[in-house]
Amino acid sequence: MTQKNKPINEDLKKLVIIRIEAAPSNWKLSIGSFGSLSKEEIIDHIMKGDEIGSQIVNSHLAFLKAVASGEFTKAISSV
């Protein structure tokens, strides 16, 4: 099974959903050809574990890893 098709861990889904729920109610996310998605639509995709949901979870995890490793701070301070 490839990483792309690997099911998303339920705890990771919950973590990302909690982060998204903390955003303002009118927050939207645009994902390429999928268009603009509301918070509710984003959460629905994450819960389904579909391609869009996987991309969202993976991008949140990449951000959290960058923060934890210090890469994010280095990138911000170099600007």
Residue 8 pLDDT level (bands cut at 50, 70, 90): confident
Q: Which residue has the higher pLDDT, 3 or 70?
A: 70
Query: What's the pTM?
Result: 0.79
Q: Which residue has the tokens 């639509």?
A: 41
Q: Which residue has the higher pLDDT, 41 or 4?
A: 41
Summarize pLDDT for 30-77 with one digit per residue, the tens: 988 888 999 999 999 999 999 999 999 999 999 999 999 999 888 889
State how far the Cα of 74 lies from the Cα of 62, in Å rounded to an integer: 15
> Which contiguous run of DSSP H or E holds residue 35?
strand 35-38
What is the structure's pLDDT at 5?
62
Instruction: Give the other-Cβ count within 10 Å of 73's Cβ.
Output: 11
Assess contact for 74 and 28: CB atoms under 8 A.
Answer: no
